[in-house]
Structure 1
């Protein structure tokens, strides 16, 4: 999952980047409203953390511009604790949630997880597909209760597919949503990660749809033949 952080305070920007990156997200950063607006307009983010008080272009103007342009990614705004009017204006501009400064980083992480789940149509924090379960709170992955250890890139891939279960996801979409701006993007690496993920999960949930991409779906149960009826005596 790929996120954008738009915050002009260098220390806070760095802290959020590190926390989100450690949580398994690909993260891009901007330090002013103009840069943030450009990135949000041109790159496909799964969610954005947006400060309201930004130089060059304030956060509310950035958000309003995104919504006018049809950008629908969830946006979490950062507001000053005593400015309730910022919260109202933020929601009216198209924000999905807010956090008041100062805040605990765990709250930001929890709200981001909730936004990502809701935007993909999930209510519970545990995502399941057949025997595969991903706990979005802990990042723990299990298959039939057995924990599976994944690398950060394998985990990002599975998390994106789990959030979009039942939908064909192209290789290009995966490249855009799994890597940050600075990563040397190569769609061939997706095939490598899919192969590794299939091997580790050891269950047939990732299907290749030729010419289109990948589909995460629960494996079909083997058909059972109806018992033959005996000849009446």
Structure 2
């Protein structure tokens, strides 16, 4: 029986003291017997945790008592085994590296598309205004190879820092269309959509990423499995480990 709760979550929110917050969060997580990774930066927090359900949820509830993290939302899945070997809390320059300091989601997000709406758009290939919808996978090529949305654009990037240049190179192909950027859990496509909009492209982000889509819609329109960065390796549309 699957008894290990896995969560992923991120939030772009100003953190003035990420270095001093690091040992505090690590102590709390270790005390609850959790394993995984928490990334802290001045732009926000990104975390992947696993453990007993009451301890994982208790950690998140405590984290939300800090007003900076009050709106943090999590995506949950289950496994029979602990997918992480240790508990790491790291202070980084960015919680998802793009090397574009001007791209600051905390100052204003790109419009988002919820999974149910996207599923409806996929049926016709058009948005609610009748414009052509283009899906854009913002993940690295090796992740895409495990599975992606049917017909999605894949620019074969090897690391996320390559995305802005790839977007500029493909700009003319996207202008005049409704572009929905997506990634595993939402963090990369949130920055990607802002880059695209700076280039004059009508870009939206898939709320909750692929994992959120699986949770609310299932696998309709998605071919394959979703790569995740832990011991499970991949999960299916039911959020069950397949790796």
| TM-score, normalised via structure 1 length | 0.29
Which one has the bigger helix percentage? 1
Name the structure, 1 or 2, with higher relative contact order (CA <8 Å, separation 6+). Answer: 2
Structure of larger gyration radius = 1
